[in-house]
Amino acid sequence: ECEIKCKYHCNDITMESVLMELGLQSHLKNKLTLKSVLELRKPSDEGQTAHSFTSLPWLFLRKLMMVNSSARRIKCASKSNSETCKKKGINIIKTSEDRKGINPLDLITALFHCADPFLQQEMALKMSTCQFAVPLLLPNCDTNECTLMLWALRDITKQFRSHGLEENSIVLTDLPLISIVRLGKNSASKSEFLNKLLSNKQQNHETFVHWKLANGNVPRKICNGLVEISCWYLPSGKETIDKFKEPVAMANLRGDVSEFEVQFAFLSQTSSAVFLFCDDLDSNQAFLNSLQLRSKLVLVCTTNDQNSKKTWNKKAVAKILADSSNVSIEKMSKIAPDLGIDVDENDGICQNAKIKAVKIIKDIGNIPEYKMRELPLQGKPLKEICKLEKEMHRLKGTEKKH
């Protein structure tokens, strides 16, 4: 009976109802812009607590724009905006969780739906800088469709050492992709486990949100079906620190994989391996038998010995990386339409911006020559001016006095 009520509760929630609670309903059509987010305004909230649900998105965005890694740990001092939603005729089921706050993943999903393409790019860049996982496939719970966030991730560049120092846009870099999914209910958090797998002894980064983080235990409403991609495990070239010798991207599907066939099909076609967390293999045997994967499948069953499981999966990932196929996010955009997945970059606004960007950079061949031609005062004249300024501010002909 409890499971039936829970399922009914989840199915009854719409995108509009959640946006109404957060005061973002008007921005589903009139998108938030980077300019509106960066406007100088007196903050109405202090620290990690928002005075109302409607101020939660703005507190999150303000902290994110400042690259504050505590942005996901914000809380609300008052109850949700359920009464307002009820007056508007939108069905909201009041629970104790509604008054506690909102799951950070729901907040992030809502803001990406309400942001224009340029704000989405800035949000993804700042989230990556904070070492947060960023959306790869953004779901819409009303239409059961999802979008590949190619444009949103284009600004992210990473530097790493593998066979030498490399720096490139992450959407253009060919990397092995390891996907993590869940089948049925699990006693252990795969996101928490993934964080520990990617962290070294010196630093532990909470890349993926899990139930032990602030509001991580609040039931999810609109973010199931979200596929996050990690901030990419990139080796530093130091054997004592690096977990893996080769760079690798990690994708994490939120929700039960049996309910999201499109996302799972996409991950199975683009991943070098899929790690499937499942506690009850017997009850899910029919689903497992129906799987037709192009990638390797690794079944992970929860054990009491978490350390042994962590060591085993580290070895499993390392073995897969030794013989893996690489893929870039740009190449993924060629696969997505065949599965009915939209690509955000196909939007007219993104295409116009891309044409203008190409027009600006097409004449840049040799960078030093381009600088001399377009920024003539930044070369030799600037060096001469700096030299003269140093001489002006240095004491000349003075003797040391004791």
Across 208-232, average pLDDT: 89
Mean pLDDT of the chain: 81
Least confident of 65-69, 91-95, 146-150, 264-268: 91-95
pLDDT above 50 for 96: no
Enter the pTM of the model: 0.81
- pLDDT for residue 235: 66
- pLDDT for residue 5: 33
Q: pLDDT band at 341, cuts 50/70/90?
A: very high
- pLDDT for residue 99: 45
pLDDT above 90 for 161: no
CB 196 within 8 A of CB 243: no
3-state secondary structure the chain: CHHHHHHHHHHHCCHHHHHHHHCCHHHHCCCECHHHHHCCCCCCCECCEECCHHHHHHHHHHHHHCCCCCHHHCEECCCCCHHHHHHCCCCCCCCHHHHHCCCHHHHHHHHHHHECHHHHHHHHHHHHHCCCCEEEEEEECCCCEEEECCHHHCCCEEEEECCCEEEEECCCCCECEEEEEECCCCCCCHHHHHHHHHCCCCCCCCCCCCCCCCCCCCCCCCCCCCEEECCCECCCCCCCCCCCCCCEEEEEEEEEHHHCHHHHHHHHHHCCEEEEECCCCCCCHHHHHHCCCCCEEEEECCCCCHHHHHHHHHHHHHHHHHCCCCECHHHHHHHHHHHCCEEHHHCHHHHHHHHHHHHHHCCCCCHHHHHHHHCHHHCHHHHHHHHHHHHHHCCCCCCCCC
Give the model confidence (pLDDT) of 227-259 as tens digits.
999 856 666 666 666 667 778 889 999 999 999
- pLDDT for residue 357: 87
157 vs 247, residue with greater confidence: 157
What percentage of the chain has pLDDT greater than the value 70?
A: 79
197 vs 344, residue with greater confidence: 344
pLDDT above 60 for 71: yes
Give the model confidence (pLDDT) of 274-325 as tens digits.
988 988 888 888 888 888 776 788 888 765 555 545 555 667 777 777 777 8
305 vs 115, residue with greater confidence: 115
pLDDT above 60 for 347: yes
Residue 161's DSSP bridge partners are 165
170 vs 237, residue with greater confidence: 170
